[in-house]
Amino acid sequence: MSLPKSVLFGCSLPLAALAPIAATASGTEQRMNEVVVTGTKTPHALKDVPVETTVITREEIDRLPAQNVTDLLKTVPGISTSLLDDAIGSDNLRSTFRGLQFNEGYALILVDGQRVHGGLGAHGDYGVSLTQIPVSMIERIEIVKGASSSLYGADALAGVVNIITRKVPTEASGSAGVKHGRYDMLPRDNNTSLIDDSRRLSSHYASYGDKVGEHSGYYLHFSSETDEDVRSSPHFTQRDALLGKWHSQLNQSVGLDLGLELSQARREAYGQNVSYDRKFDNQRLSGGLNWQQDRHAVTVKSYLYDQDFIQGFEGFEHGYRYGEIGYRQAETIYNFHGDQHLITLGAETLKQDLDYTFKNYRNNALEATVPVVKTITTNSLYLQDEILLMNEKLRLVPGVRYEDHSTFGSEVNPKFSAMYVVGDDTTLRASVGSAFKSPTIRQLYYQGIYRHGDTYNESNPNLNPETAVSWNAHLEHRMLDNRMELGVGLFRNDIEDMVVMFDTGRVTTDNTPIMSYHNISEAQMQGLELTLRADATEAMSIQSGISVTDAENKASGKDLPYVPGITASVAPTYVHHQSGVGVSGVLNWFDEQYRNSSNTQLIDAYTTLDIKTWKQLSNAARLSLEVKNLNESDKGDSAYNWRTGRSFSLALDMEF
């Protein structure tokens, strides 16, 4: 193998122990040697992982003009972050992964391999925000493309985004940073109610870690971010987050890892008699015990995730929701490394608890109370074998997962992946698999009609889970001594029983329409993705990508909404190492897309340009200037939403 056996065993090993593998490389070659774990639940160098995987490294994070995770994903072909506004509480519900919305649960979002929920930026109580973690806390992001239900179960239909936080350091070290800036608000068509079109943003962070004795260490990171939101009037928004990690190597064979994350987010309710109309309190506890000896390794791990939330307020006619959502998970993984086989056998139990209330108001009077009380339990077994043939030039990876869902019963999802290395410079990866997705909380579990904008919605307890067959193929070619990398990929997802909203034809006593959900026969997403990464010189590098996506509701013949037909990005970086000066930019172009399933409302094509420049003041300090949306694009959507315009921010980052 390209990695030693001791590394291959250790999906359980602390990532700090794996870092030296990539420490001697640079540029594109360094990225290809980055160790990733998400695609197979075992560590591989990126160039050797047998499933299509993209990684955003810490070095790239430091250089990109990005205020949140969604910004970082702008350059990843297949992921569309159109209609993104650079604000903590801005909805990112329209972000898609190969034509399928993150917010609807079609792509699994993990933090350190663990499921998360809700958060500022999610839309509604069922949604999941991409911006779960402040950028300063992130070590890297791993994006696995293609159906991943064979390893991760439901909600990994389009792929997986794993946000991996900073690791425990091997010696005493710390960092701190501060950022302040302003951003413009663009006028909405035919609406003159915009208040304070220039608004403030800021962020602060500090971290420290050290060894404890010879075999243990810890890491602490605190972050605080504020802005004034993107609505017609300023709404002060703040998110505070604390991350803690502990690692102990108990002996040569056994390691212990503990984790803690506490965060709170608030958005004020402007002009109301309450302090906040968005309020989230998250707690995440995790622990893992890792044993490794000779050809065998065992990991036993678990986590608890709880979120208390409030959305809306008493009297709010679009609905007032409050309550708790939680996960309880335990997993055991066994790895065996033979001469030609890397076998992974796992068992997992996952429990999701829903306990909250939805209140409907009309003319400030309480109309109805809709409860949501449900426990969803999923028990799973999965098996995967990575078979090495032809001197490891060919890798075959069959896998299967059996999952018993407390609502829908048993599901079996197989997957087969293959990787073939042609010479030293060309790699072909391909996979085919089945996947399934359970309906969202709103689609299935509400116990009455609830207010949503200008309609009432009701759940449908008779919905079937969505099922899919997914395949993708990706060809990667490296040239010029690995200083340039070209990639071309094809994908297709065929989804049966896709859940969509429809008008029931019924109305309430005041003639407000009642909407509900049903399964349609089929939806299809297919497309082409092109990537280029190049280190033109020691100082100059560039990455770019193009995605062509066709996403269609086969029952109606209409395009799925919020899926641009073409997206493109170019992200050059120049670093003058002698002076410590650098500059980077991200140019994105999004094709036109539809706002609605009937394809009667069109969002125009648009372009955005972001720029970042920095000066290394010393080995321990860096000053940077960031300009977002330099061209003041309204993102083709000013007829429907307020949008952020140009923003400027100045940041100072220090290490000690």
In the 3-class helix/strand/coil scheme, how is 280-329 assigned residue by residue?
EEEEEEEEEEEEEECCEEEEEEEEEEEEEEEECCCCCCCCEEEEEEEEEE
pLDDT at 5 over 60: no
Residue 414's pLDDT band, with cuts at 50, 70 and 90, is very high
State residue 651's pLDDT score. Answer: 98
Q: What is the pTM of this model?
A: 0.92
The total of structural domains in the chain comes to 1
- What mean pLDDT value characterizes the chain? 89
Higher per-residue pLDDT: 536 or 419: 419
pLDDT at 14 over 80: no
State residue 102's pLDDT score. Answer: 87
State residue 271's pLDDT score. Answer: 67
State residue 416's pLDDT score. Answer: 96
CB atoms within 10 A of CB 60: 20
Nearest-5° Cα angle at 593, 592 to 599: 130
CB atoms within 10 A of CB 484: 16
Q: What are phi and psi of 310, to 5 degrees?
A: -135, 130
Return the sign of the alpha-carbon dihedral for residues 231, 82, 225, 573. negative
pLDDT tens track for 76-132: 999 998 888 888 877 777 889 999 988 888 889 999 999 988 888 777 666 788 888
Mean pLDDT of 32-47: 87
Higher per-residue pLDDT: 188 or 50: 50
Return the sign of the alpha-carbon dihedral for residues 476, 55, 156, 412. positive
Residue 28's pLDDT band, with cuts at 50, 70 and 90, is low
Residue 192's pLDDT band, with cuts at 50, 70 and 90, is low
Q: Which two tokens stand for residue 438?
A: 């359970």
Mean pLDDT of 274-290: 92
pLDDT tens track for 440-488: 888 998 888 888 778 889 999 999 999 999 999 999 999 998 899 999 9
State residue 55's pLDDT score. Answer: 94
Rounded to whole angstroms, how far apart are CA atoms 201 and 184? 11
- 601 is in which domain, residue-wise? 5-655
CATH of the domain at 578: 2.40.170.20
* Helix, strand or coil, per DSSP, at residue 354: strand
State residue 639's pLDDT score. Answer: 79
Please state the length of the chain. 656
Question: Which is nearest to 145 in space by CA: 529, 426, 486?
Answer: 529
